[in-house]
A and B are shown apart, each in its own frame.
Chain A
Amino acid sequence: MSSLTDKKLNKDRYSQRGTSIAQKDRRLAWPRMGNISLSMEVIANTLGAKPVIPPANTNEALEIGVKNSIEGICLPYKLNLANYIMALEKGANTLIMFQAPGSCRFGNYTKMAQKTLQKMGYHFDMVVFDMYQSKIKQAIEALWHVTRCINPYRYYKAFSMGFSKAFAVDTAERLMFYTRPREINRGDAENCYKKWFKIIGDTNTIGGCRKLKKQIIEDFGKIPIDKNKIVPKVYLLGEFFVLLDPYTNQDIEKTLGELGIEVERQIFFSDWLEHVLKPSIFYRKESHRERCVRFAKDYMKRAIGGECIETVGDTVYAAKNGIDGIIHVMPFTCMPEIVAQNILPKVSKKEEIPVLELVLDEQTGKTGNITRIEAFADLVIRKKLRKENEIKK
């Protein structure tokens, strides 16, 4: 319990900037998480770097990750490692990673990945964005390190477009979640989303990016929907990576949407980006995390790393705001979410909200989970109908 290590060493140990590769040969790659590639690609391109985008997460990618990592590590690491390997095979040589040390095993990902990749014989540079302290400064420093771009206008352009794209794609996703259970022609919402996803990827001007959000809202408004349908609403909570990655969570939003349930996700990439990157003086309203801490007060007195307190706080918030159910997803052996999993049964009982737990890993079968989701959907729909009938009486 004494002072263990040098303070300075301790503070600097997470920001890492490799310099072994010449500037003009740099080719950037980053792990895929949700739709992060849309924004990162435009930022890298605007700043004059050459990005390499690894293929989407599939069974093949997971197999590569599982083969090269240890047994006990969590699923997101396996996929991240697979992304790196696939990108390196495609010619990348500078690997970027966002990192927030001290939350859970996540803080150790780069250290492990670096060792594993070096053992496999790859030559590369690792550049780490330490998101714990001085966030925007860290991000700009790291980007300067990899691109050596000194034009401030380009930074403005890159961040502006990156942000706009992240917001646009999340708006599209939100609207898809709303429209899908209500649509009259099955598949309209999804097609619309796919169309816009492509357009967002192709837009390359600041003005164009700013207009995207408005256009998307208008376009989704044109889809014919059944406004009188009784649609229960379910919150999707849990671990960040699993929530954002459609391969890992087996496209659970789609499954639920087609069963006639509206999904709401509390964690979106753009919200996180806004919260993390914006300096706190510009961020006036209560942040998501602060709200969660407030609502989780009866059950948890301290944050314990990861997204545990968000999961518990959002569950209480949902119960108090008339949401019909909670689906809690987590990767196998995720430490913070296991604590949340232990707490949720009590929350569920006290606040009277149904909770379904889904633990995902590389062995998870899709059929088993679909059966459970269908049963849960039945329960939620029946509960909602009963509530509606009582109101009518």
Chain B
Amino acid sequence: MQQNICKISKIGIPRAMSYYHNYPFYHGFFKELGIEIVLSDKTTSKLINEGTKHVVSETCLPIKVFVGHVINLLDKGITNIFIPSIQSIDYKINNCSKIRGLPEIIRNVIDRPFNMIEPTLDKTEKIGFYDFWNYTANAVGVTDKKLIKKAIDAGWEKYDNFLEMTKLGISYQTALENALNGVFENRHLQSVKPLSVVIMAHGYNLFDERISLNLIKKLEKMNVKVYTALNVSKENSIKSIHELGELMYWANEADLTGAAAYYLLNNKVDGIIAISAFGCGPDSLMVDEISYHAKKANMPMMNLTIDEHTGEAGFVTRLDAFIDMLVRKKRKETLIKTKINSISENEQKTEEKRLGFSNLH
């Protein structure tokens, strides 16, 4: 019955940008309205090349990837594509211009006829969350307020489940699959590993296996525990930013500065790895901010810059060297600790000797 309400039966969502954090919500929302979701294929080199052809060379990698995904959807024959413009998530907390202007870029660089569903979220200009979804629902032909409300609730349910699961330490891929299937897995994962690092990166860089060159799996193979922004709750990460004496400026600052700040302040990790796309404006500031605080706290930090030409070999060498350094640092620290312990034990013994206690035995 619901399918008769909607104008369109299929909607295309590019597997890039906001997909990585918000897909459970999109999935719940559109499923409730009875619309079939078609995702683009996973990122490949061919897809990136396709995207690179359409935009100017100064554009950053994530945008090139996004354009590639949109073209992929068009090749599949999808004519309705969901491209949100998330301008600001709170008063004067804005996104990067390129994310704000995603629909503008797509409209002008792709010269093919298709229908773009482009809702705007701009809390600075008082275009709120409900306006965002109302616009989307109207664009697909739903005007029933109750149904929209129901769909938003369904979206929240899946999204909350997803966040809850990732906070427990379940890996991104598993959590996403579970959330989409409506399963809630409540097992507390606490694997103990000798080393742990936090990765500060945008979700669209980190969880895209082609862009991040499978960084998380590589680290796990090296027996390193990996924390990401998804393991920290939003409140905690914002609190940590304030504790460092910084103010939130970018919409996705919680993903980068927030996560790194949380682990930096709690001293839970041995090192910080930052991944940023070449020429990324917000990243250049956020990484600098964290590196300033990391230096103060004597925390090792590495910044990896990626673009479409990043080779795997160079990437792995740097990662290996960094992890080696962390291992050596940790070994040295434990050695010093045990030495101090043994020294104090020796001192105790000599003290006992001086007092003549040892003769009593």
Contacts and interface: CB of A to CB of B under 8 A. Distances in A.
Interface of A: 1-5, 7, 10-11, 13-14, 70-74, 101-105, 107-108, 111-112, 115, 119, 132, 299-302, 304-306, 308, 332-333, 335-336, 338-339, 341-343, 345-347, 357, 359
Contact of B105 (A74, A105, A339): A339
A339 B89 contact: no
Contacts of A105: 281-282, 284-285
B101 interface: yes
Contacts, number: 134
Given A301-B103, A301-B104, A102 B281 contact: no
Given A108-B249, A302-B104, A346-B109, A72 B283 contact: yes
B281 A335 contact: yes
A7 B91 CA distance: 8
Interface in B296-328: none
B284 A305 contact: no
Given A102-B92, A102-B124, A302-B120, A4 B247 contact: no
Contacts of A338: 56, 58-60, 97-98
Contact of A343 (B90, B104, B121, B287): B104
B104 A72 contact: no
Contact of A299 (B107, B118, B234): B107
Given A299-B104, A301-B103, 12 more contacts: A10-B90, A10-B92, A10-B93, A72-B287, A74-B281, A119-B292, A304-B100, A308-B97, A336-B97, A339-B105, A342-B59, A346-B111
Contact of B58 (A306, A336, A359): A359
A2 B128 CA distance: 10
Contact of B94 (A74, A115, A300, A305): A305
Contacts of A10: 90-93
A72 B278 CA distance: 8
Among B88, B104, B234, B248, chain A packs the most CB atoms within 10 A around the CB of B104
A300 B56 contact: no
B55 A3 contact: no
Residue from B118, B122, B279, B287 having most chain A Cβ neighbours under 10 A: B279
A108 B283 CA distance: 12
Counting chain B residues whose Cβ lies within 8 A of the other chain, the interface size class is 35 or more
B336 to A, nearest CB: 30
Interface in B32-68: 55-56, 58-60
Contacts of A112: 285, 288
B231 interface: no
B59 to A, nearest CB: 6
Contacts of B111: 346
B129 interface: yes
11 contacts: A70-B284, A70-B288, A102-B124, A301-B118, A302-B122, A304-B87, A335-B96, A339-B104, A339-B105, A341-B56, A346-B109
A343 B105 contact: yes
A103 B97 CA distance: 8
Nearest to A9: B247
A2 B160 CA distance: 13
A312 to B, nearest CB: 9
Counting chain A CB atoms within 10 Å of each CB, the highest count among B85, B100, B238, B254 belongs to B100
A343 B55 CA distance: 9
